């Protein structure tokens, strides 16, 4: 396999993976492209490589910057804007985790708390509902906190956790 083919395969695969996890294909593809580019890439180049429109490129670049995983770069004496991706994978994981937690998990937790707090009139049905949603709330909260700790400490997370537990 030669370089161009490999690069294209990578971009397509990353795009498909994105779709499966609720991230739009183009957004994931742009991210993939920037990840493996050794230098900053212009919007023109992105449009050209991925065969997408200016509007599409612009909107998805904005979304990636909102996630904090793509940055704008200005080259001296050039009008045009260039883009780079966060290339440190630990840092990337931290940012993706934080955003997904903030945008999706936290609001879901809020709802779980609400619905598990109804004053049940003690039918078996209602008791089961309260019980199950309470468990779910606790579970999701625990998982969310764990992810937070893991990403906070990056590679170091296990060591710190162990230290904390042992003292």
Give the SS3 label for residue 123: coil
Nearer to its own copies, 10 or 43 (CB): 10
Helix (H) or strand (E) holding 73: strand 70-74
Distance CA 76, CA 87 (A): 22
Nearer to DNA, 43 or 108 (CB): 43
- Name which of DNA, its own copies, none residue 53 binds, using a CB cut-off of 5 to 8 Å depending on partner kind: DNA
Sheet bearing 81-85, strands edge to edge: 41-42, 81-85, 70-74
Angle between helices 124-153 and 106-116 (to 10 degrees): 150
The answer to the question of residue 60 lying near DNA (CB under 7 A) is yes
Site residues for its own copies per CB under 8 A: 1-3, 6-7, 9-10, 13-14, 17, 19-22, 35-38, 87, 89, 93, 103-104, 108, 111-112, 114-115, 117-118, 120-121, 124-129, 132-133, 135-136, 139, 143, 158, 161-162, 165
């Amino acid at each position: 396999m030669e370089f161009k083919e490999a690069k294209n395969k990578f971009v397509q695969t990353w795009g498909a993976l994105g779709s499966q996890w609720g991230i739009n294909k183009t957004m994931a593809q742009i991210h993939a492209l920037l990840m493996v580019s050794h230098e900053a890439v212009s919007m023109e180049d992105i449009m050209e490589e991925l065969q997408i429109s200016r509007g599409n490129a612009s909107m998805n670049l904005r979304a990636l910057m909102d996630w904090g995983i793509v940055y704008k770069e200005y080259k001296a004496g050039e009008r045009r804007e260039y883009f780079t991706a966060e290339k440190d994978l630990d840092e990337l994981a931290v940012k993706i985790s934080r955003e997904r937690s903030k945008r999706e998990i936290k609001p879901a937790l809020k709802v779980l708390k609400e619905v598990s707090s109804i004053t049940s009139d003690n039918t078996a049905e209602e008791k089961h509902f309260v019980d199950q949603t309470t468990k779910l709330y606790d579970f999701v909260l625990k998982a969310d906190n764990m992810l937070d700790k893991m990403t906070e400490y990056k590679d170091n997370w296990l060591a710190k956790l162990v230290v904390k537990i042992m003292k």
